[in-house]
A and B are shown apart, each in its own frame.
With several copies, the nearest count.
Chain A
């Protein structure tokens, strides 16, 4: 017995029949259906290949580097003289340069970013927030080369007026400008964290007669702590990886010092210096590029992991 009734007789077009008929010819659709997931999987693995590519290039050359320069010498050496006749490859000057510039940046970005976030999330009216936020985002979208130019031609001269003894190239000015660059990132991530604290929490505190400041300090910030801290860590990670600002405004002295009026080099700026000198492959200095890049990669990788760990682990449950 034929189950499919032919009730649509007399119609100008019999769609059902046409569909049945086309179905047999639609092997193409089936093929696409089969291969598409595989094609897409292949595409999705490109991101993994990128990571592998990074790890592989960095690792293989880094290993070669450490076969020439002992591991300990690299990580405990305070002298970096890669190009000299008697080269020395101590990474500590770069590490201090990197850490000091990032710390300076965070001294700018953390308080200002956090206070900006508080203002936007707790004090500003909807209208003002909608006006200010995109303007701050512009700050985040400015290319770092522009900040480098700004640090070198504007901030440094001003700072030199204020701080006698500040070198023409120094770590302070790029540190500060990096901080400014990071403000929007800290502000917007912290603001997200604070706005996602439920309103009922705010109302509960306000109903007890709290001022907005008290609500923010005692309820909102503790509740949003994980997100706020994560934003700081991401900010540091960003500062560590920032290149052009320091390259332009801090010169290439490899001082091992904690004096922020001095020029210092960061890991990123070292990479720029060595690669714009175009180190001949095979030389130790060439491999040092990869060792430093590997150190940088590990640094930022750990920071990003930490940020993710913090925001997941300490997520408040409300």
Chain B
């Protein structure tokens, strides 16, 4: 039986889910009956999924199955596409984020995101990291200095860039750029970090570095990562959700998914029989 059916949730006073009663683990995100359409295109179908605190949750599945769409729904970036329609509910820390009254800017300061292609701003390394704190009103240079250092250290890139903080971020290699983007995301001290195939544009060595970093980050942050590298999911995640055609086929402990999947399609996918 898949995890999504096993969950037994404690609710907060407003009716939002907070705790998995079975495991006593805190729930960060709970998705209930989520459906999403791009125009007429039904991209997500009845998604039910609980994401736990300080864990790495991997989302795998073949191309076009809705992985990116789902993860972008979690910080409402998906709504930048004008044709999107959503039904169902996602609660973050017990509050429904699909509610109109929930400010996206607020949500996104708590939920950081790292993209498939590194996308540093065309500014200096320092300004890239300081961007987030600055827009939130932190102007004090000393404090900014500290934030920048801490975030770059947190993203395991400090030693490589500490002498060139004022150089343009585009002078960095792809792997460094990606870690810089992670640092940029850490600078606003998020609660959750969403990662959409963060290593797919990187070479194996850089990929390894980022994977190690994710392992470190998990101590402080909850991480949701999309990947279509099965090995990667197996290496770094605690839980894995397998998406297919917009549906969650199976969601469980990563060990279970990779060693003993309960659905035939999951097995087929993992053993490389399609996708």
Give the B-binding residues of A (Cβ under 8 A): 1, 3-5, 7-8, 11-16, 18-19, 22-23, 25-26, 29, 125-126, 198, 200-201, 203-211, 214, 218-219, 222-223, 316-318
Contacts and interface: CB of A to CB of B under 8 A. Distances in A.
Contacts of A26: 136-137
A22 B181 CA distance: 24
A166 to B, nearest CB: 44
A55 to B, nearest CB: 33
Contacts of B123: 222
A15 B80 contact: no
B115 interface: yes
A226 to B, nearest CB: 11
A201 B136 contact: no
A222 B188 contact: no
A273 to B, nearest CB: 49
- Of B113, B122, B136, chain A has the most CB atoms within 10 Å of the CB of B136
A210 B80 contact: no
Interface in B6-24: 12, 18
Nearest to B111: A207
A19 B131 CA distance: 13
Contact of A208 (B80, B93, B108, B146): B108
Given A208-B185, A209-B106, A23 B136 contact: yes
Contact of B122 (A1, A29, A316): A316
Given A201-B121, A208-B109, A3 B189 contact: no
B136 A209 contact: yes
Contact of B121 (A1, A126, A205, A206): A205
Given A205-B131, A209-B136, A318-B122, A19 B109 contact: yes
B239 to A, nearest CB: 20
B136 A13 contact: no
A15 B105 contact: no
B105 A210 contact: yes
B82 A218 contact: no
A207 B110 CA distance: 10
B85 interface: no
B119 A200 contact: yes
Given A203-B115, A204-B115, A126 B82 contact: yes
B133 interface: yes
B146 A204 contact: no
Given A200-B117, A200-B119, A318-B170, A12 B146 contact: yes
A223 B138 contact: no
18 contacts: A3-B93, A3-B94, A8-B189, A12-B146, A13-B146, A19-B189, A26-B137, A201-B122, A204-B119, A204-B120, A208-B132, A209-B108, A210-B108, A218-B121, A218-B131, A222-B122, A222-B123, A223-B121
B119 to A, nearest CB: 4
B136 A22 contact: yes
Contacts of B138: 15, 18-19, 22
B149 to A, nearest CB: 10
A122 B93 CA distance: 31
Contacts of B105: 209-211
Given A1-B18, A208-B132, A222-B122, A19 B112 contact: no
Given A4-B93, A201-B121, A208 B143 contact: no
B159 to A, nearest CB: 19
A137 B185 CA distance: 41
Nearest to B168: A317
Given A3-B93, A209-B109, 6 more contacts: A15-B189, A201-B121, A204-B184, A208-B185, A209-B106, A211-B135
B33 interface: no
Of B53, B110, B147, B189, chain A has the most CB atoms within 10 Å of the CB of B189
Interface string B135-156: 1111000010011001000000
B76 to A, nearest CB: 10
Contact of A203 (B80, B132, B184, B191): B80
